[in-house]
Amino acid sequence: MKNLEQRSKSVQNRRKLPREQDKFYQSMVFVNVLGWFVFIGALLVFHDARPEFVSGLQAFWGVEVRQEWSRTLTVYLAGLLSLCVLISVVVLIMKRRRNRRDNDHFGINGYVLMLTAVSSLIILYFEYTAPLK
């Protein structure tokens, strides 16, 4: 009987707690921020993986630059973007399970991260495989 009373008090307290103090909400925010940091890491890898820009001065002086995608960095880039998609799907599932009130936020940043990562993967696929054909 004592266990049942404690459980009912904890359930009532959880519902009266502000969202910022809820552990599930805090973990959801952490996972969301982690996804954005992974995306920033993907942007940094993209900067090194893409073909280098050849300016007119470099062409005139005969400076050699890499004009194709880096194979190893492209694999890392695809992995990071796939991880972004996975993290954003996890965040969207977590939001769906928790957001039941009218005043809960929609969570548009999870959709933006997923859409951006998926479109980047599609563009990377066509950019990387086009010169190989």
One digit per residue, pLDDT tens: the chain, 133 residues? 566 566 555 555 556 666 667 788 889 889 999 999 999 999 999 998 887 777 776 667 777 777 788 889 999 999 999 999 999 999 999 888 776 655 566 678 899 999 999 999 999 999 877 655 5
What's the pTM value of the predicted model, to 2 decimals?
A: 0.76
Q: What is the pLDDT of residue 128?
A: 77
Q: Are 131 and 95 spatial neighbours (Cβ–Cβ below 8 Å)?
A: no
| Cβ contacts of 27-32, under 8 Å, gap ≥ 24 | 27/94, 28/91, 28/94, 28/95, 28/98, 31/87, 31/90, 31/91, 31/94, 32/87, 32/91, 32/109, 32/110, 32/113
